Structures are given as structure tokens and as C-alpha cells.
Structure 1
Amino acid sequence: MTSRQWTLPVSPAGLRVLVNGYQSWSEAELRPIEDTQATPLMRWRQEQGHDPAFLPSGAPGRWRSHTLIALIRPDGGGWVGCAQDATRTFTHWEAHSDGAAVQVWYTQEGPEVPVAWEETPDVIRSVEAQAARLGQNMGARTPPPLRVWCSWYSYYRNVTLEAMIDNARQARQYGLEFDVFQLDDGFQADLGDWTEPSAHFGGHARDLPAALTGLGVTPGLWLAPFLVAPTSRLFAGHPEWMLRDRQGNPLLAGHNWGGPYHALDTTHPDVLDWLRELASTVRGWGYTYLKLDFLYGAALPGVRHDPAVGRAQAYRMGLQALRDGAGEDAFLLGCGAPLASSIGLVDAMRTGPDVAPFWDEESRRVWLGDATGPSARNALHTSLSRWYQHAWYQPDPDVMIARRELSLLSRNERHALAGMLDVIGGLRASSDPIAMLDAEGLELLRRSLQISAPDRPVTLTRSFGGAVTHFSRGTFNLEDTLAEGIPAHGYQEHHGMRLAVTTSEADFA
């Protein structure tokens, strides 16, 4: 395992650290180095939200980061390190303050790859330059961003064929300029049994593309291709395809859908054939846009069919099989995915946790140490702190929730979500039932669908909430109290005030 270490000639006092979590949902932060990096207490959240082989430290003054790290002095200068390849190697960074000095080091899991490390007078510029170089080295795909409606954040697993078609019709009626209508989880019989319909969907997933195409939108489909439910036909028929634990049992890969599930071993040749066939099959149904979710499963620590293949390479093999099956012209959105190791194979990537129709799940975040779960606050916090990743793929900061019904978000919080989409750039997405939107909601949704170029931070030396919050277009306040005239959970645009709100709008209307 390759490693290298530096001692920084600086006092820890006043030094901030920018860290990048392992996968889409893993927390990215901008924090004083002497703070404590939280680690989740529950094992299944360690597996599902982080890299269980390199968890957040949970120790004061010790910060762990994946692929890229930056340390920022009060003058805006500092140090930046970034791996220059991630196709077969995970690069793990660690920064440690002992109160008198700062140590930084990295270790590499996989073949040795080059690492850029520099002291710089402008950390923002260096982070962007090093991230762009990594993207270039790995052949990043950055097609034009799309405007997507997906079923998840309103219908969840209760989605029906009729609801998909009805919302597409209403979007057309109201002149909402969506490019893609994406069917999310709930259409399939079980995890792994993707070609068999669920009892409640009211049809088959292959029945939907023709109707959507007739309404002028591209059909999209959600898959969690590396996960397998123990109740599925796939598991019953091919238990030898599962990633194993040290005792030889199928590895538990997380806990969702009411129970645990397993992960495919993507070093098994038959698994790769099955993945290619799956992607080819749904492409044949008419789906040219695929959201590939829970992709971390292929990279979990475990016993593999081919023990010579490391975790990063195993993940890449599985993702390549899906790309081969779907075709070079398919649009692939990764989610719950090892971020850097996906560069060059996905067109877009979720860069934060799921949005939810509420601001924060504080008990989970604070008391269980887990900020990877769904909430508007978590999505903003992590996506904003990954602004530079537009050089790796089209960023997907998740959906706008413009509705007032079935939502606990205040007006300030809804406008903060719209501000995030504008600042991050990349994909635009919504999940609101069109019929549920009033005039204000329709107008906010229309604004959030306007494509914008990615914005840049103006400083990393200040933050309203432990994340990157100060951008050239506007400033976010992720705190629970007023900050310099910006309401709690609010966003203030600097120019034009297109998305600005007043400090008195604290209602939940």
C-alpha cells in the first residue's frame, strides 16, 4: 500500500479543512481542522453511506477525505492534494492536528498512481485545477445537462404506470420544459428481478417508453443493478454470484426496503454478462436515460471470485459492463456511487444525499453521527462543498421541491434549494406531482429548470454552516439562526435577486 506524509509549517489555529466523502451520500465539509469529524454509530449506515474500509475518524482534529483534500489558511492560501487517477485505486487522505502541528498523509488502496500536492496562494483555484486534471486524465464525460422529472420524491415505491403518463401530460399542458421523465423504484418485483413487474405498478416498465416518447420526452429508468434481495429469484438462482464475507456467506450490503440485501460480485464473469444483458434489455425497451443507484455495493470490502482484483477495479468492471450494455450514446446517472472511480463512465453523478420535503433530521445527524440521510439540509451541505466536481461529470444536486403540499419546507428553504441548483449547475430535476403545484410552485419550478453554468466560491475562509456557502452569485445560510441578514436555512442572491427572499419569511406555507 503506497503512502506519503507531510508536516505543514502552520499552526492549527485558524486552519480549515475541505474534505470530500467517498460516495454520493458521504458527507463533504468545510470545517475548522480542530473540530471533530462525525462517524456514524450504526454499522449499516457505515456500509450504506461511507466506505467501511476508511470511515470518518470520529476523533477531534483528525479528518479523512477521499481523492481530494484541501487545507485553508485565513488568507485563502493553503495546500491542496488530489489523486490523478482512480480507475483501479482508492486514494485516502488524512489530516491530523495535535494542537501544535498539522500532519497530512495519504494511502493508496490499489496500484500506485500519481498524486498532486501543492502549496498555493489560492486554494479555490488549485482545487478546481487539480480536479479538472483528474477529469481529463480519466476521460470525463460532461454532456449538456438535462431537465428531469422523476417519480421518487412524491410517489416513492407506490408509483404507477398511470401516474407517470399523467404527470408527463400535465407537464406538457403547463409548458414545463422537461427533457426526461424517469421512472424510479417501485416498478420491479424485487431487487434483482428487474424484468418482472411489481403487483401494484399497473403494467410493465416496457409499456412506458412509447407513451413518454409520444409526449415529447425521453424515457428514463431507475435501477440498483449491483444489489440483490435475499427474497429475489436472482438470489435463489445464483447464490454463487454474491460478494462474500470472510466466512463464505453472502455479504450484507446495507439495510433498506425493510431489510438487509446483498451485492453482486462484479469480478465474476457471469455477473458481468448479466449486467451487460440487463442494460441492453432496458435499452431495448426504449430507455436511453438510466439512473444507476446504490452503486457502492460493487466496491464493498469482501471476498471476490477473483481475489487479484481490488475494490476500485471491481467497481469499475461492473460499471463498464453496464455502459457496454446500454451503449455509448446512453445517458448514465450514477448515485450512491464511489465518485472519482466513476469518472469517464457516467455522464452525471449525484453529488449529495437525497433531498427530502423537510429541512433536517437532526436526531440522526447529531446523535447518530450520520449526515448521509435524506434532508434538504444534507443535500445542500454536501453538494455545495463539491462545487468543483463539474469537471468529472454533470453534477446532480438532486430535485427541486417546489410544492407546498406534502412538504414541511418553508419558503426560505424552497428558495435555498433553487439557489443550490443555480449555483451548482448540472442537471435540473423535479419530483413534484404537477397537479399539486399552485401558481407560486409552478413559477418556482420553472425558474429551477433554467440551465446555468456552475458558479464558484468567493471564499473558503468563512462558512455559514460547516460547508462551502459563499459563492459569487449568492450566499447560503445553513445555520438555524439569522446570519448577516440572511434568514436561517435561506439563500440571498447577490445580483438580480432572482431567488432572494426576505428575512421575515419563516412560514411553512
Structure 2
Amino acid sequence: MNSKRFERNVRSAPLAGVPSAMLEYRAREGSPVPEPGMTLLDELGPADLVRLLAGPGSTRPADDGGTPGEAPFDLSRAFILGNGWQSWSPGWELAPGERMERARFVRNLNIFTDHPGLVPRRGEVLASFLGYLRIGDDYLALASLPQGGPPVSFLFRRRNGTISVLAYAEGHRFEAGDPAARILVVRARGWFALKDALREAYAPYDQFSRLSFLGTPGEPLVPGGYESWYNHYSDIDEGLILTDLRNLAGNGNLIDRLYIRPGKPTVFQVDDGWERTVGDWRVNEARFPRGMKDLAGRIEEAGFIPGIWLAPFLVTRFAPLFRERPEWLLRNEDGTPTVAGWIPAWGKDFYCLDLSIPEVLEYLEGIFDRVVNDWGYRYLKLDFLYAGMLRGRRRNGGAAFVHYRNALKRLTSVRRRRDGTPVAYLGCGAPFEASFEFLPLMRIGADTREDWDWGQARFLRHPGRPSAWISMKDTIGRALWDGTVFLNDPDVVFCRNRRMRLSEAEKELVALTARLFASQVMFSDDTADFEPAVEGAFTERIAELYGRISGREFRPERVPGLRDVFTTRSRDGRAAAVLNLSDLPAEVPGSWPPDKAVLARFRSVGGRVIFPPHTVSLYDGLEGA
């Protein structure tokens, strides 16, 4: 059922040799009132989509959308990619009967993950920007191709077999003829075939060339370096950061081996803790008495790219802006400030700026100009960006997506410092589609953690909680995007033993998941504490394994009948791995020759191969596909 308000035009668009079609939606008439939370553009079934792929006038039967003998795309029994709308929203395949969690008791935790316009009900799966159905190795995918309009989500209803195409356009007024969405439909046999089609579809955006300075010519683009967060958290000061800076090169740590010794560009990023408080982006002079400009200079003198953390749209109640510029805050309909999330260390509830206000944008541009051109930072991690897309009463009206895109376009328009050196931006906690054209380097999952999971947050069922386990599930679930839509940032890897609750096998699993399915390698280990005799062997092993998988593309596949157990195989079929993220031993079908194992965490029991929980086993030199 096509929405009567929007006209759908269909054209064939074969990509990478697989059937594809482009659905273009335009408003038939102007919006009589501002759009509601979610605007329905279309409602289709899988068979409708397959008919559209076959072209105008197709008489292909509508029962399954396939050729004789093929399994139907039955929503009630298909695997569906549940793809949350921003970095921390869960993003992985769901089998029938599975659903994403939502936080209990502390409901404001759901602000970190819920789509502002829609929370799916039981039997529904929401996929934003990209979603697919999978039966075996047969994929039916929908992907939004941004053109400046509202971000799109796909609501899969298992019970009635329909897919709603929805736009988050609240507050927007379409004019007659305005484009509303451009949706790519792809049917592909195999994960690599789908990824190739998506790569071709998104290639015209030329997203990655602006990041080339973070890589080495002639090699795959894999930025890397150090960041302070996952060891020191916000408890940092000038002395501690300079100690890590002095010890990053020369002692054989992972970043030294992978980036510094080979002469590759290396990021050194200062995370949260340098500022006076979140929302007050002046330097905390008690912690950094020589200031952030001096620190950036020292980072450059050491041969690294200076990086810094910002959460530009946030305001806590401790920030002067909260008291001095209350009119700059996004408001609810009752006039109270819109809550943007809940963190106890920030006074629990915190708030966000109203991006419709010109003075707010001028204020933010001033901060970015100071950080880039005065202080000298060239790698800006922009965090908690979802706050710019929350629902609320904006002083100047209009839709959240319009003001968010305008703000991000202005703030990331500085591609070079005044001295000509290039600048990169990492999106984190960022709405995927609305950020796509501005932030090609993107965190694609929850924060990791130096522990398998976070017990308190797990009890609360917080789905976007900092957790090594959750972060890896997101990295695997969004592997399809890496190198096609974004350069995927999987968060940091760990080699250290101190302040660490992950086992050696779990650290291997974190490290290999990050490199198999994503394209940035960062760590936060205390470089001054690195002891070659203690951590050297582990670090050397990870570096050697990275060398084996570098330059190869891997597709993950969920093992049928097992939850959180995956296999992966390289495109040429010669390398493979088994990743057991579950809490139980797993017997995985397939041939797993022990003599081809380059990382062996399995056990052979009576002719069976058992993969222990929280482990990865890697194989190389297999017979090709």
C-alpha cells in the first residue's frame, strides 16, 4: 500500500551484477500541518519488493517473490537486521522470537538507544538507514540513499508480513514535488554480493577520500592510534597524558608495532576530562596548566596527529550555559528542558542545545575554530551527537533533521586548518543517516569495556551499555557497512594486564572482531606500564594475526540454532574463524582442520570440535571458495 500522500517512482538500477531497483518518493502535495513523529511513505510486502525488482509489468507470482524451489521471504521466519538509528543503538540480526532489549527502572537510559520517533512493539523489528531479510544465503535489503531529506527507517512486521517505509520528519512541511526519500532495494545471493552492491550504490558520495591523510598510500585505509578514555576515563591531567605520549613510541606496544615503526600516520587523542565540565569547552587549567594548544604542539612534535574529544550539543547543569543561556536549551512542549540522557557523574539528567537558534551555531563554530585553528587539533571525536536530533520544541520551528544537518555541515566544513593541514572527524553516538554525508569515520556500536559485560547496566537491561560483548555484537552486525557506507570504528582493543578484567582469550576475541569487521585500530593502554616480558608475547601475537587478515574482507554468519556464535570466511575462502560470544561451549558445523589453525582455542572431544565460550579460533591456508 503506497501512501496516498507520496508518489513512488521505480526504476531498475542493477548494481554489481545483482537485481536492484531505486524507489523514489515525492510529496504529491504540500503538508497541511507539520509532519508527525514518523511519516509513512509506503507499505509493502516482500513479494511487492521482488516484483519491483523484476521491473514494470512483471507478472512474477506474489506468493514468495522467488523462482521455483526458492525459499520465500517470509517475515515470520526470516532473520531480520535490526539496525538502530545511532551508534549506540543495537544493530544485529534477529531470529524469529528475538527482540532488542529496552532499559527498565531508569527509563531515561532508553534515550541513548531508542529512535525518537518510534519504538517497535513485540513482533516488530525496526531498521534505520539499512535493513534486510535473510533466508539462508538469500538477502532482500532496503537502504536509504541520502539526498538531504529526512532519515528513513524500515519497520518489519512479522505478524502481518509488511514493511513500512517511514521518515523521521517531525515538524517538517513538504512542498508539492519535494523529494522525501530514495530507497535502494537489492536482492543478493550471498553477503559479499550484497556488500558489493551497496559499495557501488554509495560510491558516488566519495566519502573516504577526505580521510586519506589518516592512511598510507597503496594500503587499505585503517586509521589508528591512542586515546585516553578506556584506561584513565575522565581522570586525566597534563602529566599523565604527557607520560603516555612519551612512551607510545619505541617500547613495542601494539600501536608502536602497527603504526609508528612502519611510519604510518598515528592519532594521539585526548578524551573526556580536559574540559571544565561537559558543556563548558574551556580548558580545565587545574589539570592542564599549559593549556590544550601547548599539548597539541607537543603531540605534533612527537610525530602524531593531535586528537581531542567534544560533545558539542550537550549541556549539564554544572555548565555556565545552563544558568546563563537557558533560552539556548531545547525545550519540551511544557517549557521544561529536554532531557538528553542520564549519567550519574553528570548530575544524572543532562540536556542539549537548540540547533535552530543562529546564536547557538555561532557559539559552536567559535569552539570548533578555537580547537582546530588556535589549539591545533586535527582529529575531532564528536560524541553524543544524537542529542541534536531529539524531539522537542525548537525556538525557530522546523524539523530536527534540517537543523542537525545544517549544524553538522557548518561544524565539519573545516576540512583543513589555516596552515593547510587536513582535519578529520569521528562521529560517535551519532544518528547514522543524518550524519552520513559529514562523518564518514563512524563509531558503529556501543562503547566497549575492560570487562565482558557491565553487571549493573545489564540488570537494568540497558541495550547500549558499555560492554565488550555488546560492542562486538554491534561490530559484527554492522560489518556490511565497513568500507561501503562508513569506515567502521569498532572502539578500542586491549593488550594490557593491569586494570583489566578480560581474560587473554577474551582480549583476543575483542581484538580480532575489531580487525575482521571494521577499519580503525585504537587503544587506551597505559604506555608507560607496558612490560615487554609480560605483555609483549600477547601483543606480538595480535600484531601477527592482524598481518594475516589485513587487506582481506570477511563476512560474518550467525551459526543456525546458536545465539551469539558466528563463523566468518574471507572472500577468497582461504581464511576463516569461529567466534563464540556466547556463555556456552559450541559445536559448530563445518570442517575445522587443526593443522590450519593459527589461533587455536578449540578442544577436540571424541572427534568433535568444541569452541569454548568467549573465544575466537582463526584458520588460514584453507582450500579456497
TM-score (normalised: structure 1): 0.89
Alignment partner of 1:478 is 2:581: yes
After TM superposition, the structure 1 stretch with the greater mean CA deviation from structure 2, 432-441 or 310-319, is 432-441
Q: How large is the Cα RMSD of the aligned pairs?
A: 2.5
Alignment partner of 1:243 is 2:330: yes
Q: String of CA shifts for 1:30-53, please: whole Å, max 9, x gaps.
A: 121332332233332121233232
Instruction: Determine the C-alpha separation between the residues in 1 that align with 2:362 and 2:536.
Output: 44
What is the CA distance between 1:412 and its match in structure 2?
A: 1.1
Structure 1 match to 2:44: 6
Q: 1:126 to 1:215 in 2, by over 3 A?
A: same
Structure 2 match to 1:305: 395
What is the identity, as a one-letter code, of the residue corresponding to 2:583? Answer: D
Structure 2 match to 1:84: 145
8 Å Cα contact 1:18/1:69 also seen in 2? yes
Structure 2 match to 1:281: 370
Alignment partner of 1:271 is 2:385: no
Structure 1 match to 2:554: 456
What is the identity, as a one-letter code, of the residue corresponding to 2:42? Answer: R
Structure 1 match to 2:598: none
What is the identity, as a one-letter code, of the residue corresponding to 1:231? Answer: F
Instruction: Determine the C-alpha separation between the residues in 2 that align with 1:303 and 1:132.
Output: 39
Q: Tell which has more relative contact order, 1 or 2 (C-alpha 8 A, sep 6+).
A: 1
What is the identity, as a one-letter code, of the residue corresponding to 1:104? Answer: I
What is the CA distance between 1:253 and its match in structure 2?
A: 0.9
Instruction: Determine the C-alpha separation between the residues in 1 that align with 2:551 and 2:111.
Output: 34
Instruction: Determine the C-alpha separation between the residues in 2 that align with 1:68 and 1:467.
Output: 23
Which structure would you say has the larger Rg? 2
Instruction: Determine the C-alpha separation between the residues in 2 that align with 1:376 and 1:463.
Output: 23
Runs (4+) of structure 1 exceeding 6 A deviation are none
What is the CA distance between 1:173 and its match in structure 2?
A: 2.8
Structure 2 match to 1:107: 166
The percent of aligned pairs where both chains have the same amino acid is: 25
After TM superposition, the structure 1 stretch with the greater mean CA deviation from structure 2, 416-425 or 348-357, is 416-425
Determine which of 274, 278, 282 is the counterpart of 1:187.
274
Structure 2 match to 1:377: 469
Secondary structure of 1:129's partner?
A: helix
Q: 1:482 to 1:254 in 2, by over 3 A?
A: same
After TM superposition, the structure 1 stretch with the greater mean CA deviation from structure 2, 144-153 or 249-258, is 249-258
Q: String of CA shifts for 1:337-359, please: whole Å, max 9, x gaps.
A: 01122122124111111110100
Structure 2 match to 1:503: none
- 1:107-126 mapped onto 2 (5 Å cutoff): 107-110=166-169, 112-122=180-190, 124-126=192-194
Determine which of 225, 230, 248 is the counterpart of 1:153.
230
Instruction: Determine the C-alpha separation between the residues in 1 that align with 2:561 and 2:489.
Output: 22
Alignment partner of 1:290 is 2:352: no
Q: 1:458 to 1:223 in 2, by over 3 A?
A: closer
TM-score (normalised: structure 2): 0.73
Alignment partner of 1:253 is 2:330: no
Secondary structure of 2:380's partner?
A: strand
Q: 1:87 to 1:445 in 2, by over 3 A?
A: farther
Q: 1:466 to 1:29 in 2, by over 3 A?
A: farther
8 Å Cα contact 1:192/1:234 also seen in 2? yes
What is the CA distance between 1:446 and its match in structure 2?
A: 5.7
Structure 1 match to 2:529: 436
Structure 1 match to 2:478: 386
Return 5+ residue gaps in structure 1 as ranges. 498-509
After TM superposition, the structure 1 stretch with the greater mean CA deviation from structure 2, 340-349 or 23-32, is 340-349
Structure 1 match to 2:112: 48
After TM superposition, the structure 1 stretch with the greater mean CA deviation from structure 2, 223-232 or 234-243, is 234-243
What is the identity, as a one-letter code, of the residue corresponding to 1:171? Answer: L
Return 5+ residue gaps in structure 2 as ranges. 1-38, 47-63, 65-71, 170-178, 213-220, 261-265, 571-575, 588-609
What is the CA distance between 1:315 and its match in structure 2?
A: 1.7
How many residues end up aligned between the 2 structures? 490
8 Å Cα contact 2:149/2:180 also seen in 1? no
What is the CA distance between 1:86 and its match in structure 2?
A: 6.0
Q: String of CA shifts for 1:409-439, please: whole Å, max 9, x gaps.
A: 0111100011112212411100000133333
Q: 1:387 to 1:254 in 2, by over 3 A?
A: same
Secondary structure of 2:201's partner?
A: helix
Secondary structure of 1:51's partner?
A: coil
Q: 1:37 to 1:200 in 2, by over 3 A?
A: same
8 Å Cα contact 2:40/2:164 also seen in 1? no
